[in-house]
Amino acid sequence: MSRISRRNFITFALGSTLAFISSKAQAYDMGIKRYLSRYNNHKLDPGPKDPVREKENPDIINPPVTDSGTLPNLRYSFSDAHVRKGTGGWTRQITQRELSVANTIAGVNMRLNAGGIRELHWHKESEWAYMIYGDARITALDIKGNWIIEDVKAGDLWYFPSGIPHSIQGIGEDGCEFLLAFDNGRFDEESTFLLSDWFKHIPNEILAKNFNVSSSIFNKLPSPTDKYIFSGKINGNLCSNIIDKSTKSLNIFTHKMLEQKPITASGGTVRIVDSTIFTIAKNIAAALVEIEPGGIRELHWHPNNDEWQYYIKGEGRMGVFASAGQARTFNYREGDVGYVPFAMGHYIENTGKTTMKFLELFKSNYYADISLNQWLANTPKELLKQHLNLNKKFTDSLSCKKNPVIK
């Protein structure tokens, strides 16, 4: 073969190879675009399916090409949780039983009608609460024997350390709804210490001695099954409930989260609450994040503990990087719980048309996150360039200031 013909052959072979690669790339791209339409036409999945669920989870049905490997399920919806009803409202929970990866925090969503009472009780776990809707009245007794009676509204928090006895009542015209978070993924509402339950399991003569009354008073105690969440009467305003013979606690058990000045960024806002400003909340730190349409909670991770999320409003998706080439994307909407195991990198994107609002919760006394952008901005440029082979335009775009929500 002559030198010229050999050169022509090599040129032809190279051109053919590039054309082949280009055609493969175009075919792959077209395949992705056709995937959902073919799937919806039952060409990819002719068997039984739930189109409503699949429409809500597009990144599970058609994962981004960057997804790889296997991660545990990081999403569970309160809409799939069992509802326990009472005469005064209802409750449902997501614990490690429902979301097996969630070992640090368990969540309860509770609704109390106007006058509805979550009976006097206590539990081994600390209780952190966010008011979603309406108005409530909480009562408690601190370890020094001093009382707490407070009225709370939407956007307020309360916190009861483990073992502190308390109650919750829906007040106002339509009662309330709230989220409870407990600092143990294995928490179960059925394991709380109920006042009516304990009374039923104490001999009447012991009750009589303890309270210095006749034992006959206790002959007709109510069944604990009737008192877990029951209908009650609202006893006037806050002032009319003051305990005159005792002292109000000096501890602050509530916090007005929405009245905090937020961290404002290009894509939304963040309000952070931990023990540095809500001093009694020693075991749970939190952030309330709002993301505008098209915005993202920037690429980051948390160095203090796992992240438990509650989606209050809107819809979006979260991509999680678990190291060793493993990554998954999950879709979320209001009422969902999300979870990110310790130190896994992730982002959250608002894919809807309205503001997305969610809580980040941590079993920790402080809030902390590491921004990928800020880390790279504080790394020598030449060192960074050797890692990613990216040009000066990229390194110049980095910000030494943390921007938690960007657009």
Binding residues for Mn(2+): 121, 123, 127, 166, 300, 302, 307, 346
User: Phi and psi dihedrals of 53, rounded to 5?
Assistant: -65, -40
Instruction: Look up 360 and say whether it is catalytic.
Output: yes
Q: Which residues pair with 130 in a beta bridge?
A: 157, 179
Annotated active-site residue in 125, 189, 298, 360? 360
For residues 293 and 270, the answer to whether their CB atoms sit within 8 Å is no
Burial class (CB in 10 A: 0-12, 13-18, 19+), 178: buried
For residue 116, the cross-strand partners are 231
Q: How far apart are CA 268 and CA 355, in angstroms?
A: 9
Please state the residue numbers annotated as binding site: 121, 123, 127, 166, 300, 302, 307, 346
Q: Which two tokens stand for residue 30?
A: 């077209």
End-to-end CA distance of the chain: 60
- List the catalytic residues: 360
